[in-house]
Copies of this chain bind each other. A is one copy, B any other.
């Protein structure tokens, strides 16, 4: 484990047998990996760092402990935070303070989406509230059979505001189901998550899920990083733009990317049936 990646409540590892793959683990298992403020900030720092780390080509994200990927926001800590802004009495000033706070939180989640390397998330156990916000900012979602998902925010009197309502419908592509689970806060399991396309696959338990995540991440890390990172970026761009705009952006992007030596490296090794090697990125 690199010293550069020592952040409280997170373990970041670079397993020797998974070349170019980083493993980020949420590590506050005693509290079901519930998030307190410092964890948001650390998570953003970690993914910002990985984004440009030339030794990393794909990332696996998981939660430590048997019980939870993350049970969501640490409600107790969060309500104290809210209380602090309660000292303001003017509703408009309180609103300003809350808005700044929300935007800062959102930005930490968006760091995962902005990370230039693909992120595969392996979920298990309690995966509630911000577990959904967080996982919709990753690229591929896997889960264990025992996972308990829930967009729980309405249960505590608020509309989810750090990503779920913006990203979940675009991730699963089905508004009817999203509205049902977001407006009722009812929990749903791994099979339902698979059926609606929220997760790509379901595995027997936490370990098998993480192993599967590494398998996918390994595969991504074995490909040209120019190709993989370009593909992630263009897919994220396309989600928010028209097809015509997507094509135009792709053309400009690839006008530089196609000049890479990775293309001939990939073609050559394809013909010669050997594994290509790609320069760092």
Q: Contact partner of A230 among B156, B159, B244, B263, CB < 8 A? A: B159
Q: Contact partner of A198 among B176, B231, B239, B267, CB < 8 A? A: B176
Q: Contact partner of A157 among B100, B153, B260, CB < 8 A? A: B260
- Compute how far the CA of A269 lies from the CA of B245 in the bound complex, rounded to whole angstroms: 38
Which residue, of A118, A174, A247, A252, has the highest number of chain B Cβ atoms within 10 A? A252
Do A159 and B253 form a contact, CB below 8 Å, given A96-B281, A166-B243, A176-B197?
A: yes
A153 to chain B, nearest CB (A): 7
- Residues in B with CB closer than 8 Å to A161 are 234, 250-251, 253-254, 258
| This protein's copies in its complex | 6
- Compute how far the CA of A116 lies from the CA of B116 in the bound complex, rounded to whole angstroms: 29
Interface size of A in residues (CB-CB distance below 8 Å) = 110
Please tell me if the beta carbons of B260 and A91 are within 8 angstroms of each other in the complex: yes
Query: Which residue of chain B has its CB nearest to the CB of A234?
Result: B165
Do A242 and B243 form a contact, CB below 8 Å, given A165-B234, A252-B252?
A: no
- Compute how far the CA of A166 lies from the CA of B247 in the bound complex, rounded to whole angstroms: 6
A259 to chain B, nearest CB (A): 4
Please tell me if the beta carbons of A96 and B244 are within 8 angstroms of each other in the complex: no
Please tell me if the beta carbons of B247 and A157 are within 8 angstroms of each other in the complex: no
A217 to chain B, nearest CB (A): 9
Residues of chain A from 241 to 280 with CB closer than 8 A to chain B in the complex: 241-267, 270, 276, 278-280
- Residues in B with CB closer than 8 Å to A229 are 96
Please tell me if the beta carbons of A226 and B92 are within 8 angstroms of each other in the complex: yes
Please tell me if the beta carbons of A175 and B176 are within 8 angstroms of each other in the complex: no
Please tell me if the beta carbons of B252 and A99 are within 8 angstroms of each other in the complex: yes
Q: List 15 A-B contacts (CB under 8 A).
A: A90-B259, A92-B259, A99-B255, A103-B251, A157-B227, A159-B227, A165-B234, A166-B243, A167-B243, A170-B175, A171-B175, A178-B235, A185-B223, A196-B197, A241-B242
Do A244 and B243 form a contact, CB below 8 Å, given A159-B257, A166-B238, A182-B235?
A: no
Residues of chain A from 153 to 186 with CB closer than 8 A to chain B in the complex: 153-161, 163, 165-167, 169-180, 182-186
Q: Contact partner of A183 among B228, B242, B260, CB < 8 A? A: B228
